[in-house]
Amino acid sequence: MARMYFEEDSDLRDLAGQTVCIIGYGNQGRSQALNMRDSGLSVIVGSRRDESYEAAIQDGFEALPVGEAVERSDITFLLVPDEVMPQVFERDIAPNLSAGDMVVFASGYNIAFDLIGPPADVDVVLIAPRMIGAGVRDTYLSGEGFPSLIAVHRDATGTAFTRMLALCEGIGSARMGVIESSFIEEATVDLFAEQVGYLYAVRRYCEVLVEAGCSPEVAMLEFYASGEGIETAKAYRDIGLWDQITLHSRTSQYGQEVTARLSSEQEEAERSRLRKIISHIQDGSFAREWAAEQRAGFPEFDRVRELNMAHEMRSAERSLYEVLGRVPSD
Homologous superfamily, domain 4-183: NAD(P)-binding Rossmann-like Domain (3.40.50.720)
Domain coordinates in residue numbering, the chain: 4-183, 191-323
Indicate the residue type of 198. Answer: Y
Range among 165-174, 220-229, 309-318 rated most confident: 165-174
Q: How confident is the model at residue 2 (pLDDT cuts 50, 70, 90)?
A: confident
Crossing angle of helices 198-211 and 312-323, rounded to 10°: 90
What letter represents residue 254's amino acid? Y
CA distances from residue 191 to 54, 107, 292 in whole angstroms, order as listed = 32, 10, 17
pLDDT (mean) for 186-191: 97
Q: Give how far Cα 202 sits from Cα of 70, 74, 157, 221, Å.
A: 44, 46, 48, 12
Place 166 in a pLDDT band, splitting at 50, 70 and 90: very high
Work out the pLDDT band at 20, boundaries 50, 70, 90.
Answer: very high
329: pLDDT strictly greater than 60: no
Q: What integer best gives the mean pLDDT of the chain?
A: 95
Contact yes or no for 178/149 (Cβ under 8 A): yes
- Alpha-carbon gap, residue 77 to 109, rounded angstroms: 15
Alpha carbon distance 105, 190 (integer Å): 14
Q: What is the mean pLDDT of the segment spanning 23-46?
A: 96
β-strand pairing of 148-154 with 123-129:
antiparallel
The pTM of the full predicted model, rounded to 2 decimals, is 0.90
Task: Give pLDDT tens digits for 75-119.
Answer: 999 999 999 999 999 999 999 999 999 999 999 999 999 999 999
How many degrees, rounded to 5, is the angle at CA 95 between CA 115 and CA 12?
Answer: 85
- What is the average pLDDT across 137-166? 97
- Contact call for residues 106 and 77 (beta carbons, < 8 A): yes
pLDDT at 327 over 80: no
